[in-house]
């Protein structure tokens, strides 16, 4: 039993000694509530080596530049966390292929603002969707998109910008552009071989658009098609999301890694593909507050070549005892998972456990353990709130 007299010891294996995931840039889209620097701090807490963020509200047209103090806090957090790779996603309102002059100009101005803020933060890329033709002609829409990109790149070249534009593959919903690799190639060719223009590949989007990556054969076939139409050298960011909907349905619904129609095998292949070693892989999976840590830990374990999963038993004490029926809870997590990952998975099961990680002390096999302590297969974890004998 754990008592108040037991000397507190953290587990010998910490987050720093978990396999390094072979140097892969793995991360998540992180929140910025309280300041843009929070994306880095919260990303570090769940093991990110890269992050994606919004530099402003994704549902408004006009946003101011980042305040100098906020930019300084971001740069300081970057130094302290060691997260060098950070990218942004732009506003959902932007349509650089819009058929009306009013919306097209608003989109161009808003996207320039996205690049302005990203340049302030020294971000690598701003990810953007390729727009939609809105039933006003696909060919004409591509011409408007190409012209918009040329104009924006030229203006920001003149301003000495380093941040690049990453055109995201889409699911093919509605009149959206960019759901076929040939469409991506068409835009890249139209703009020209510009060093600040690349592609963001979303696994859920390409899958529901009809590109199968579930087996070794289909994975290689899909990337051969990508190489032929686009070129892997133009791939700058990857969004790793499983899909709730089936192959080719053209419906964009993200799912947790390994729990959707794509499955684990494809993601294990993705994070160990030597062609993609320098490409940041970012998750945008559901229930981000509780499940980003779990999904990211799974990708890390796959990248490190660890075993696929481990099984643990969790005992809840104090006022948490009856939340999940008053009995020990059996959990399955990816190899390399931490106490924090286990707490996040419990919180995803029941909202009453959402503050478990911040409220409790934890022990692994009767030794007090830090939140970043790595779990071992078959171990027992105790969650001890104040006044529960721990």
Say if residues 239 and 200 touch (Cβ distance below 8 Å). yes
Of 4, 16, 59, 101, the active-site residue reads 59
| Count of residues in the chain | 390
Say if residues 97 and 128 touch (Cβ distance below 8 Å). no
Residue 279's CB is within 10 A of a number of other CB atoms, namely 21
Instruction: Return the bridge partners of 303, or none.
Output: none
What is the rounded distance in angstroms from the CA atom of residue 232 to the CA atom of residue 315?
A: 47
Rg, the chain, Cα only: 22
Of 90, 114, 119, 168, the active-site residue reads 168
Q: Per-residue DSSP letters for 278-313?
A: TS-EEE--SSHHHHHHHHHHHHHHHHTT--S-EEEE
Of 138, 225, 265, 284, the active-site residue reads 284
In angstroms, how far is CA 18 from the centroid of its own chain? 20
Specify the pairing of strand 197-202 against strand 164-168: parallel
Angle at 334 between CA 376 and CA 88, to 5 degrees: 130
What is the rounded distance in angstroms from the CA atom of residue 124 to the CA atom of residue 162?
A: 8
Of 252, 255, 341, 372, the active-site residue reads 252
- Does the annotation count 78 as an active-site position? no
For the record, the structure tokens of 169 come out as 């593959």
Residue 138's CB is within 10 A of a number of other CB atoms, namely 14
- The helix, strand and coil proportions of the chain, stated in percent and rounded to the nearest 5, come to 40, 20, 45
Residue 156's CB is within 10 A of a number of other CB atoms, namely 19
In angstroms, how far is CA 32 from the centroid of its own chain? 14
- Does the annotation count 59 as an active-site position? yes
Of 129, 180, 234, 256, the active-site residue reads 129
Of 92, 157, 322, 365, the active-site residue reads 92
Of 24, 29, 78, 89, the active-site residue reads 89
Say if residues 196 and 164 touch (Cβ distance below 8 Å). yes
- Does the annotation count 284 as an active-site position? yes
- Does the annotation count 89 as an active-site position? yes
Of 117, 133, 239, 256, the active-site residue reads 239
Of 24, 205, 256, 361, the active-site residue reads 205
How many Cα atoms are found within 13 Å in the side-chain-facing hemisphere of 195?
7
Instruction: Return the bridge partners of 86, or none.
Output: 51
- Does the annotation count 112 as an active-site position? no
Of 254, 256, 269, 361, the active-site residue reads 254
- Does the annotation count 92 as an active-site position? yes
Active site residues: 59, 89, 92, 129, 168, 202, 205, 239, 252, 254, 284
């Amino acid at each position: 039993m754990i008592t108040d007299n037991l000397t507190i010891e953290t587990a010998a294996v910490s987050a720093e000694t978990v396999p390094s995931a072979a140097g892969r840039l793995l991360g998540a889209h992180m929140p910025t509530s309280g300041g843009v620097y929070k994306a880095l701090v919260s990303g570090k807490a769940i093991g990110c080596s890269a992050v994606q963020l919004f530099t402003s509200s994704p549902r408004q047209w006009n946003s101011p530049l980042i305040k100098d103090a906020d930019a300084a806090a971001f740069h300081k957090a970057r130094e302290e966390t060691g997260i060098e790779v950070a990218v942004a996603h732009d506003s959902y309102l932007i349509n650089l292929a819009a058929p009306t002059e009013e919306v097209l100009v608003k989109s161009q101005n808003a996207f320039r603002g996205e690049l302005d803020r990203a340049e302030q933060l020294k971000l690598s890329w701003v990810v953007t969707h390729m727009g939609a033709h809105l039933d006003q002609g696909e060919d004409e829409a591509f011409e408007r998109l190409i012209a918009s990109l040329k104009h924006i790149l030229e203006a920001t070249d003149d301003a000495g910008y380093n941040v690049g534009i990453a055109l995201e593959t889409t699911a093919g919903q509605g009149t959206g552009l960019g759901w076929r690799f040939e469409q991506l190639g068409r835009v890249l060719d139209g703009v020209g071989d510009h060093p600040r223009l690349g592609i963001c590949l979303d696994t859920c989007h390409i899958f529901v658009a009809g590109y199968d990556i579930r087996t070794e054969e289909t994975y290689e076939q899909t990337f051969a098609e990508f190489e032929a139409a686009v070129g892997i050298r133009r791939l700058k960011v990857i969004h790793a999301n499983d899909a709730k909907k089936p192959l080719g349905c053209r419906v964009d619904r993200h799912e947790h890694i390994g729990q959707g129609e794509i499955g684990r095998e494809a993601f294990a292949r993705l994070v160990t593909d030597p062609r993609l070693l320098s490409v940041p892989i970012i998750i945008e999976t559901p229930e981000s507050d509780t499940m980003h840590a779990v999904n990211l830990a799974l990708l890390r374990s796959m990248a490190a070549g660890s075993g696929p999963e481990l099984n643990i038993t969790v005992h809840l004490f104090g006022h948490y005892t009856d939340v999940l029926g008053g009995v020990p809870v059996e959990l399955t997590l990816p190899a390399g998972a931490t106490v924090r990952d286990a707490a996040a998975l419990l919180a995803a099961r029941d909202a009453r456990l959402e503050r478990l990680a911040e409220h409790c002390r934890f022990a692994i096999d009767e030794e007090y353990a830090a939140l970043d302590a790595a779990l071992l297969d078959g171990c027992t974890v105790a969650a001890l709130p104040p006044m529960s004998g721990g």
